[in-house]
């Protein structure tokens, strides 16, 4: 066995051949469907979600919203619910409705602070219940459909109305999980 010269001998592992093949297949499929068609699909879903979310009491959409807003953005809808920690909203959507969303600051703390009208230094105590301020983000993609919009808007409306089946506790890592009445969550 002969070692390669530097820097090649310091390269680790086997190339991600499966990943490269999967990427090629995904690119081919996207080209087959058409990026314009996918963008139009995501814009329609986003427009429907924005329209319906506007009727949820206590919900604030951050970023472009209203007539024509979906045409100016990707299929992402960040929002907050008055008085409800973004982590609790995300946990309730996940545990009770099987809907995956992202919550927190999305690795964009200064921008989220700006959107929430806060100073970055105030983010750690400005959230609901004195926690970390953040948002919930719904994301739509080529695989999403109108039923996904229906499910997420209905679930968010239930959480906004306080129709949460159990209690949630925040762990040491900051994540929210069911606590207390776990039996109610299982029903």
Q: In a 10 Å sphere around its CB, with 0-12 CB exposed, 13-18 middle and 19+ buried, how is residue 127 labelled?
A: buried
User: Is the distance from CB of 146 to CB of 48 less than 8 angstroms?
Assistant: yes
Q: Give the Å distances, CA to CA, from 145 to 3, 28, 38, 102.
A: 53, 21, 11, 19
Residues with a known catalytic role: 107
At CA 55, angle to CA 74 and CA 75, rounded to 5? 10
User: Is the distance from CB of 79 to CB of 50 less than 8 angstroms?
Assistant: no
The two three-digit tokens of residue 5, written as one number: 């010269």
User: Is the distance from CB of 160 to CB of 58 less than 8 angstroms?
Assistant: yes
């Amino acid at each position: 066995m002969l070692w390669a010269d530097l820097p090649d001998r310091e390269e680790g592992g086997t190339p991600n051949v499966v990943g490269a093949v999967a990427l090629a297949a995904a690119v081919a499929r996207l080209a087959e469907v058409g990026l314009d068609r996918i963008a139009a699909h995501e814009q329609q879903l986003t427009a429907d979600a924005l329209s319906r979310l506007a009727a949820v009491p206590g919900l604030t959409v951050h970023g472009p919203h209203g007539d024509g807003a979906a045409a100016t953005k990707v299929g992402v809808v960040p929002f907050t619910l008055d008085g409800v920690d973004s982590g609790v909203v995300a946990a309730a959507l996940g545990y009770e409705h099987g809907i995956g969303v992202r919550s927190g600051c999305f690795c964009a703390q200064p921008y989220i602070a700006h959107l929430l009208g806060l100073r970055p230094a105030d983010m750690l105590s400005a959230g609901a219940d004195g926690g970390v301020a953040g948002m919930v983000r719904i994301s739509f993609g080529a695989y999403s459909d109108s039923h996904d919009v229906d499910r997420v808007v209905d679930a968010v409306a239930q959480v906004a109305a306080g129709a949460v089946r159990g209690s949630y506790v925040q762990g040491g890592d900051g994540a929210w999980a069911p606590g207390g009445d776990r039996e109610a969550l299982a029903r």
